[in-house]
Amino acid sequence: MRRTWAPGRWLIILPPLLFLLIFFLIPFAFAFKISFAEAAPRVPPFTDVISFTADHHLRLAISFGNYRYLLTDEVYGVAYLYSLRTAFFSTLICLALGYPMAYAIARAPRPTQGLLLLIIMLPFWTSFLLRVYALEGIIRDTGFLNTALLHLGLISQPLHIMRTSVAVYLGIIYSYLPFMVLPLFATLEKLDPTLLEAAADLGSPPWRAFWDVTLPLSIPGVIAGSMLVFIPAVGEFVIPSLLGGPNQLMIGRVLWDEFFGNHDWPVASAVAIAFLLLLVGPIAIYQYYNVRQLEA
């Protein structure tokens, strides 16, 4: 009889399970706790939420002030809405650009396919920060784009793109496009070509076959790709910070400033928790489709 892993299997399961539990999941509990504290001039800079009094009684000092502050100071609402809107439209543009790209790669002959995938993947491997910086070299007033357009006589004044919403959109699309193309390609590649042949045999014109067969079957890829762009884009910090101006207030930037500028850790925690609650829906959708795809 074949021996099983049974006794030793916890040696395999426990290290990653415990590590991720301690360093990924439990931190949220601490952030949750500290979001009810108050800023205080000490190390670390906040009051104790849970403490023990001298006679060993548990003492809870919960303050809802941070959440009240989030609701009353309009900066946070504006930043949340701006982040959601920017991420939503960038995701749509990525989808509009990424779908035809993925489709073209999926239809390319095998050896070319590998090369094209490598070309799409390569920017994903190279530094994110440096790529955003490289984009700045293109779109700034004295950048490549303006110099070229002025030289060609197409414009007489440089276009002001830096520190506008257009720059933030460009930055997100440029940085996250590969995340859209790859999952789309993965579902389009698995598509059975005989289905399209069947549709053609039954008299369907190609666009109709695409609409009725290809598109519905690629929905899991559309959702995975959109979530991989949308969720990180909502929380983007580097792009609005380097390319955006003071009006491109995204939630990631507000959190960063609250933490590094104002040193208000409890408010920053409350921003993070509120932000996380906003993301629970999209993340759950992503997980659902992801798990289903893996189990399939």
Q: How far is the CB of 11 from another protein (least distance, A)?
A: 9
Q: How far is the CB of 254 from another protein (least distance, A)?
A: 10
Q: How far is the CB of 242 from another protein (least distance, A)?
A: 7
Nearer CB in complex with another protein: 119/198: 119
Distance, CA of 149 to CA of 160 (rounded, Å): 13
DSSP helix, strand, coil percent of the chain (3-state; round to 5): 75, 5, 25
Residues pairing with 50 in the sheet: 60
Q: Name the CA dihedral angle for 205, 206, 211, 213, rounded to a multiple of 10 degrees.
A: 100
List all residues 6 or more positions away from 268 whose beta carbon is below 8 Å from its beta carbon: 255, 258, 259
Q: How far is the CB of 121 from another protein (least distance, A)?
A: 8
Q: Which two tokens stand for residue 47?
A: 């009051």
Q: How far is the CB of 54 from another protein (least distance, A)?
A: 19
Nearer CB in complex with another protein: 53/126: 126
State the Rg of the chain over Cα.
Answer: 25
| Strands 58-60 and 50-52, bridge-based pairing | antiparallel
Nearer CB in complex with another protein: 146/165: 146
Nearer CB in complex with another protein: 92/119: 119
Nearer CB in complex with another protein: 44/216: 44
